[in-house]
Structure 1
Amino acid sequence: MSRRHRRTPADTPPPDDVFAEMLLAARELLAVRSPLDAELMVSDMIGAWWGKRLHGGDVEQVLGEGLVDYAAKAGTPAGLTLLIAMAYLGTARQAAKAEGAALALMESGVARPGWADRVGAVKPAGCYVSRDAYGDQDTVVCTFAYRSPGSYRSGAPSSPEEGEDRHALVVVVDYNMRGMARDAWVSSQVDKLLEQASAEAGGNPMLRFEELEPQQARALLESAMKATRDGFDRKGPPPVSDSYGTYHAFARARIKALPPGRKRPAPLHTEAPYSRERRAMLAAEFLASDAAEHLSDPSAASRCADHIIDYGCEQDFMRPMRVSPTKCETFLLDWLPKKIMLSPAEQEAVPYVLSAWVRFAGRRTGLPEEGVRATLDAVWEATAKFAEAYRDPTTAFGLDRELVARLLPDGDLSALARRAFAFPFLQGAAGDILLDRLNPADDGDRRLLIELDHAAERHRPDYQEHLAWHEEIAARLWEGDPPQLWEAAQRLLDLGHDRHDVLHVLIEIAERIGDHPDELAAALDDIADIPDAPPA
């Protein structure tokens, strides 16, 4: 190729000025008496980079491990306090490095704080979960206490109630965000917290408060924190609370103090997996129900019901029958406009079908009447916004509906732009070949379309190999695998680069990286521009 992509070097030096500031702040840890306060302070410190992206390197490696190295090199009491806390709060790699460095400093005579022996020396006292009747979220409360100093030093067992510094870790798990941990905080008012949660549930039919086995709490929270971690993309972290990063390291460490060994409890309203046959039966039950009798277009109603059921199964933990204001708003204003190609009849019908579904599903799941009313209100409030949120490509972009149908045989509206980029010539004729009759989803027709797109390059000695790479990139764009491929293409297109030059850069990277998905995704993330060709 005439152009070469140059990756940004990954060996960016660690920000020592940031480490120096953190080491200065760590002096306050020397005056702290409580291990809980020390852990929370360090969790807050290292939470400063949680959710950040570091170009050319992993943030936990460059900053987290860099801080450990900096504190070890400082060799001061403040540095030792950081290392002791990081040995408990850090990632596995950070903890291993911090523990080794801390032991070396202690052996050399560096003074350690009084709380050093008790960091992480906690036992779980009880776990609870507060659930709303909609099934939108779980608020998990895990209580802990430090072992008393005497029993810790002697090795004698002690009950959590007999320990010191009782505290509760509270984590909010949001199922409208694919089960992510969305918020976290710590409270020292354990009894007051539990009494308040129990009282609120006792007087509110929309809330449930119950005890949770510690093993189940651990499985639930590990799954939720993994979902949050997996929710990152190149545009930034998932939408969590401001306090989540502050308590992230503390929560991660406390969860490990819970006993392992149980499956996580299923979200509220979870049912057995829905096969295609079971989904079809559920749609038929709905359409035959009293809730759907007023729907005037049975064909459009059937297709809309299929979308509602598919959304509940694929995006909401196999819970098509679960309804809530937030879930319905997300379905109507976010998922449908991004994912589903609707006919004009379906666009008109979907709010009415969704309202009927709320009545049908609410009755089946036993949702309190006030919950059904609130959900219906949310649907009708969102209906006015739906016309703006759903941009029919046949009107918004001036595309022929038959052309859109060829590009979206699976109805995945989110794929339209990248597939149109991969196959821009689908109408008209090329010689005696009618492009309107070629199907870009068919391997044979796809190959022919790519050949027609590169007719001017048939003189190339590597024409067949080059064509095969274009076919590979086109197939990946069609499937959206990996998603970073289309993201990189959009960045280059936004900078004004020619479509063919963009394709050549994508081919070059795919050819250079080979069959290494993670390396390919990282290389694509690094693309910021197409550099000029080097001088001859």
Structure 2
Amino acid sequence: MSPVSRARKKSSQPASPSVNGLFKDVLRDFSAVAAEPGPFDVELLASEVIGQWAEADPEDRLGLELIAFAQRKITPGAAALLAALKVLAETGEERAAAAEALAVVLGRGIPEPEWAGEIGQVTVGECWRTGDVYGDESSLLCVFSRGEATLGLLALLDFTEGGRVRDLVVIEEPHEVLAEMRGQAEEDRDLVVLDKVEPADAHRLLAEGIAATDALSEPEVGEDYARFHAVALTWCRCLPEPSATEAVAAWSPVRRTEAVDRFLAESNLSDPESGREIARLLVEHGCRTEPADPLRVGPEKLARFLESLLDGETELEDEDAVAPVVLAWAAWGARRAELSDAAAAALVEDVTEYLAEYLADDEDDEDFSDYLDGTESAEEVLAVVARRRFAVPETAAVIGDEELTDLDPGDPEQRRLLVIGAHPEYHESLAAEEFDGTDGLRLALETSVVDHLWDDEPPEVWEAAQRLTARGLAREAVLDQLVTVLESQLTETEEEDRLDYDLDGYREALREA
């Protein structure tokens, strides 16, 4: 949630260790706002107070205890607190108790705060939502005003978990935040979208998202979620009635199987049937987490899928199928959603990194040391491994009758043997006294492309490989295209039987691939 820097500043936390000490500090804070009336300030202070006992044991009933404590006081601070809780308290029991306690305090001669009738009454302004083009997450901004004062409520929505709210922030300058959202969408049109939202739809997204989060026993939320929870619910009540949620029919086993069959038929997997198990799990994950659109793909959604495989509850028959199938699923989903080439490539790049992390965390604890030289930073390791594993997926080869194991992909000569081993169709020609020139050139060019990928030089080779993968091409087809690009740039040199290539032309051709 990028605009957190403009969030309302948190009031100083009470230092008193006892419950009574906490209650006294709360009344002292409300005495201060009662002296300088401002309904927004009262609402935010009340929301923060309520948020302080969000993680307390419900049996402690701190809210009701605070209300009873205030009822025994004859102070403007007590009247201010109770007038606020009468509207903002999150349970009907607490709101009713606050109303009764307020009547008792007012009956002792304390005047009702002049702003009491304005609490919870705000005018609804525009609502906007910005998010990634995949539909994984979005930030919903709702603008509320009272007189000349305007605030914004910003909610982070996570659609990989049913659209639940992960954080809530109250913004002091919503117009500046909206300008940032517009600027981000303008600068990164391929990956960011910005839409105006009908207030009724905003109400539905907020209400359903907060309810989904509150239903979890231990939700992962931002540090401001509890602090602004009560005021968010209060302002939500000023929005139009939430739009109706369309009924979603659960996918039948037949429909799930049809989706798997369609994916396998439309993807370029070298062994489609080996990917059926993973594809089935992907469909089931989508039906469970996003029943309205089970086949939608996004970086975070696929990351959550990989996390679900690591929880130990799923025993896979073919672990080696995970990476190629998930990458093919990402590319297939990108085509279904008609994502731009840039968005599809970014998706495949992110998923490739997640796969490297998944494989590294797998219980088999696969060793990636062959793909690293020790100079990489911790942040670079996953990306380097993903790129080099694409270039050299195996470290063993069979050439003719000879079986070569534990080859070092970091050694250029042994890397060449791995390239040759991947092409048994050339082995007979290799063994002949006069090696076929066409076959030799093809292997030499692929070896060069693999070297370029390994060294990430020029970087356009890996960028092109990811774009081609995002379009649904299998690794072998991607290498064929990269070899064709390199071959188109070959030029003869003065040395006999030696070819070179135009680097600038090669890089430009890769950018267009």
For the superposition of Structure 1 and Structure 2, which TM-score range results when normalised by the shorter chain?
0.5 to 0.7
Partners of 2:202 and 2:117 in 1: CA distance: 27
Specify the alignment match of 1:96 in structure 2: 96
Matched, 1:174 2:158: yes
Matched, 1:254 2:240: no
Partners of 2:236 and 2:125 in 1: CA distance: 13
Partners of 1:139 and 1:230 in 2: CA distance: 21
Amino acid at match of 2:353: E
SS in structure 2 of the partner of residue 127 of structure 1:
strand
**Alignment check: 8 A CA contact 1:86 1:98 kept:** yes
Partners of 1:27 and 1:338 in 2: CA distance: 54
Change (3 A) 1:193 1:386: closer
Using the TM superposition, give the Cα deviation of residue 273 of structure 1 relative to its aligned residue in structure 2, in angstroms: 4.7
Specify the alignment match of 2:118 in structure 1: 118
Equivalent position to 2:306, from 309, 332, 355: 332
Specify the alignment match of 1:515 in structure 2: none
Partners of 1:139 and 1:385 in 2: CA distance: 27
Using the TM superposition, give the Cα deviation of residue 247 of structure 1 relative to its aligned residue in structure 2, in angstroms: 0.5
| Matched residues, number | 346
SS in structure 2 of the partner of residue 385 of structure 1:
helix
CA shift digits 1:213-261 (9 cap, x unpaired): 22221121111011111112xxxx3111101111011101111111215
Matched, 1:295 2:270: yes
- Normalised TM-score (structure 1): 0.60
Equivalent position to 1:278, from 255, 278, 297: 255
SS in structure 2 of the partner of residue 138 of structure 1:
strand
Q: Which of the two has higher C-alpha Rg?
A: 2
Partners of 1:354 and 1:218 in 2: CA distance: 35
SS in structure 1 of the partner of residue 311 of structure 2:
helix
CA shift digits 1:459-506 (9 cap, x unpaired): xxxxxxxxxxxxxxxxxxxxxxxxxxxxxxxxxxxxxxxxxxxxxxxx
Equivalent position to 1:16, from 16, 20, 34: 20
**Alignment check: 8 A CA contact 1:43 1:248 kept:** yes
Specify the alignment match of 1:132 in structure 2: 132
Using the TM superposition, give the Cα deviation of residue 381 of structure 1 relative to its aligned residue in structure 2, in angstroms: 2.0
Equivalent position to 1:36, from 32, 37, 40: 40
Equivalent position to 2:349, from 377, 395, 415: 377
Using the TM superposition, give the Cα deviation of residue 303 of structure 1 relative to its aligned residue in structure 2, in angstroms: 1.0
Specify the alignment match of 1:342 in structure 2: 316
Using the TM superposition, give the Cα deviation of residue 336 of structure 1 relative to its aligned residue in structure 2, in angstroms: 5.0
Partners of 1:144 and 1:127 in 2: CA distance: 9
Specify the alignment match of 2:179 in structure 1: 195
SS in structure 2 of the partner of residue 357 of structure 1:
helix
Amino acid at match of 2:149: D
SS in structure 2 of the partner of residue 288 of structure 1:
helix
Specify the alignment match of 1:218 in structure 2: 203
Percent identity for Structure 1 against Structure 2: 28
**Alignment check: 8 A CA contact 1:47 1:249 kept:** yes
Partners of 2:162 and 2:203 in 1: CA distance: 18
**Alignment check: 8 A CA contact 2:30 2:42 kept:** no
SS in structure 2 of the partner of residue 191 of structure 1:
helix
Specify the alignment match of 1:79 in structure 2: 78
Matched, 1:352 2:327: no
Partners of 1:295 and 1:350 in 2: CA distance: 13
Partners of 1:111 and 1:207 in 2: CA distance: 52
Partners of 2:257 and 2:149 in 1: CA distance: 55
CA shift digits 1:273-327 (9 cap, x unpaired): 53222221111111111xx32333x333011110111111112234332222222
Partners of 1:339 and 1:377 in 2: CA distance: 27
Using the TM superposition, give the Cα deviation of residue 208 of structure 1 relative to its aligned residue in structure 2, in angstroms: 2.1
Partners of 2:356 and 2:330 in 1: CA distance: 18
Higher relative contact order (CA 8 A, sep 6+): 1
Partners of 1:334 and 1:32 in 2: CA distance: 52
CA RMSD in angstroms comes to 2.4
SS in structure 2 of the partner of residue 310 of structure 1:
helix
Partners of 1:337 and 1:376 in 2: CA distance: 23
Change (3 A) 1:382 1:211: closer
Amino acid at match of 1:139: S
SS in structure 2 of the partner of residue 74 of structure 1:
coil
**Alignment check: 8 A CA contact 1:48 1:246 kept:** yes
**Alignment check: 8 A CA contact 2:190 2:342 kept:** no
Partners of 2:32 and 2:268 in 1: CA distance: 68
**Alignment check: 8 A CA contact 1:71 1:79 kept:** yes
Specify the alignment match of 1:66 in structure 2: 65
Partners of 2:286 and 2:226 in 1: CA distance: 30
Amino acid at match of 2:328: A
Q: Does 349-358 or 183-192 show the bigger shift?
A: 183-192
**Alignment check: 8 A CA contact 1:127 1:142 kept:** yes
Partners of 2:176 and 2:246 in 1: CA distance: 26
Using the TM superposition, give the Cα deviation of residue 373 of structure 1 relative to its aligned residue in structure 2, in angstroms: 2.0
CA shift digits 1:175-209 (9 cap, x unpaired): 12332211111123233233332333234232222
Amino acid at match of 1:255: C
Using the TM superposition, give the Cα deviation of residue 110 of structure 1 relative to its aligned residue in structure 2, in angstroms: 0.7
Alignment of 1:138-177 (within 5 A): 138-146=138-146, 163-177=147-161
